[in-house]
Amino acid sequence: MAVQQVFPLSCAVQHYAWGKMGSNSEVARLLASSDPQARISEDKPYAELWMGSHPRGDAKILDNRISQKTLGQWIAENQDCLGSKVKDTFNGKLPFLFKVLSVETALSIQAHPNKELAEKLHLQAPQHYPDANHKPEMAIALTSFQGLCGFRPIEEIVTFLTKVPEFRFLIGDTAATQLKQSMNSDSQSVASALQSCFSHLMKSEKKVVVEQLNLLVKRISQQDCVECMACSDNTVRAGLTPKFIDVPTLCEMLSYIPSKDRLFLPTRSLEDPYLSIYDPPVPDFTVMRMEVPGSITEYKVLAVDSASIVLVVQGRVTASSPTAQTPIPLQRGGVLFIGANESVSLKLTAPDDLLMFRACCLL
């Protein structure tokens, strides 16, 4: 009998403090929709849904006919399911972690090293860099989101340093002057000046950051501070909720991207808040958005030479495949694993439109 290559998953939830609380979180709502027995705690943050085989959140297999209990265990014994190129390139491991994020407050700033640097950092300080893999990411919005990636034009940063004294205090006069003088210099001088500004901000003591944020909040609440409007919403929010005051609040004056429907974060860059469903791709990694009108009763998920994970965001279907012994019912929040070179037939069981996302690795 052929090994079953298609099966449903129960996926891990991460309760990071920055996540939305209880049923306000899309992560919690997806969980509750997919599992009627799930109990959502309204006083607990539901930050991330992890769909994959990560050791800290290995998805459970929801089919008692399969002897392995988790996706990671099953892949270890069925590596051909990854696809021949993926198996060889990534040493028999699933090379992506598919997530849903539901973000209430700013995440901490994160560095995204490339593969070479990640391996070096992992060897030097495994307690801080437990993973030797690189971390490129792609954010795809389920709702509008704002993100920080890279740096603003130098002219804008210099304007903030001139007109926002609290920001300049944390950067320091020397670094601020260096950045202003670099405006007419070569790219290396600009990069060096930016590094100095960013380092000063990131190394600021939390007590000092809180003091300056409180001063900024008080000042912009008492006057029409036009030059601060780009950052005032997050700053005021942070000032009113000291628990979440952090350096990222001020990083909006260094880095800002308005609402987008998608955002790519390459390695060796910095990132901050986004509300998204995401997978970490370089060009070989793919997230497919699949929309099927409710008037269409059947839809086929085509085979690719890669393992896939599919998330149902809207609609109801039953999934069938050549190796699945019985049809698999899926509804909003349902997650399906599909082995490489395996096609899946979906039959819509409700008149609602169907919306799904599929993550895979196309080498």
Instruction: Tell me how many degrees the CA angle 257-258-259 measures, rounded to the nearest 5.
Output: 125
What is the chain's alpha carbon radius of gyration, rounded to the nearest angstrom? Answer: 23
Cα–Cα distance, 155 to 184 (Å, whole number): 11
Q: What is the pLDDT of residue 324?
A: 84
**Per-residue tokens: 363:** 């080498």
Residues 6+ apart with CB under 8 A from 281: 96, 136, 137, 138, 287
Backbone dihedral angles phi then psi of residue 173, each to the nearest 5 degrees: -65, -40
Cα–Cα distance, 141 to 45 (Å, whole number): 20
| CATH superfamily, region 267-360 | Jelly Rolls (2.60.120.10)
C-alpha distances in Å from residue 27, one per residue of 86, 100, 313, 349, 363: 29, 7, 11, 24, 30
The domain made up of 6-124 is a member of CATH 2.60.120.10:
yes
Q: Which fold has domain 154-226+241-253?
A: Phosphomannose Isomerase; domain 2 (1.10.441)
Give span(s): CATH 1.10.441.10, the chain.
154-226+241-253
Residues 6+ apart with CB under 8 A from 194: 151, 154, 157, 179, 254
End-to-end CA distance of the chain: 29
**Catalytic annotation present for 316:** no
Task: Label residue 223 exposed, middle or buried (CB < 10 Å: 0-12, 13-18, 19+).
Answer: exposed
Q: What is the pLDDT of residue 86?
A: 94
SS3 content of the chain, % helix, strand, coil (to 5): 35, 25, 40
Residue of 237, 262, 268, 332 with catalytic role: 237
Would you give per-residue pLDDT tens digits along the chain (363 residues)?
A: 578 999 999 999 999 999 999 999 999 999 999 988 889 999 999 999 999 999 899 999 999 999 999 999 999 999 999 999 999 998 999 999 999 999 888 776 666 777 788 888 889 988 877 777 777 777 777 877 777 767 888 898 999 999 889 999 999 999 999 999 999 888 889 889 998 998 999 889 989 988 998 888 888 777 654 444 444 444 433 333 434 445 655 666 666 555 556 666 655 543 433 323 333 344 467 889 999 999 999 999 999 999 999 999 999 999 999 888 899 999 999 999 999 999 999 999 999 999 999 999 988
The packing angle between helices 173-181 and 154-163, to 10°, is 140
For the annotated binding site for Zn(2+), the residues are 110, 112, 137
Q: Which residue type does 272 have?
A: D
DSSP string, 92-142: TS----EEEE-BSSPPPPEEE--HHHHHHHHHH-TTT----S---EEEE-S
Give span(s): CATH 2.60.120.10, the chain.
6-124, 267-360
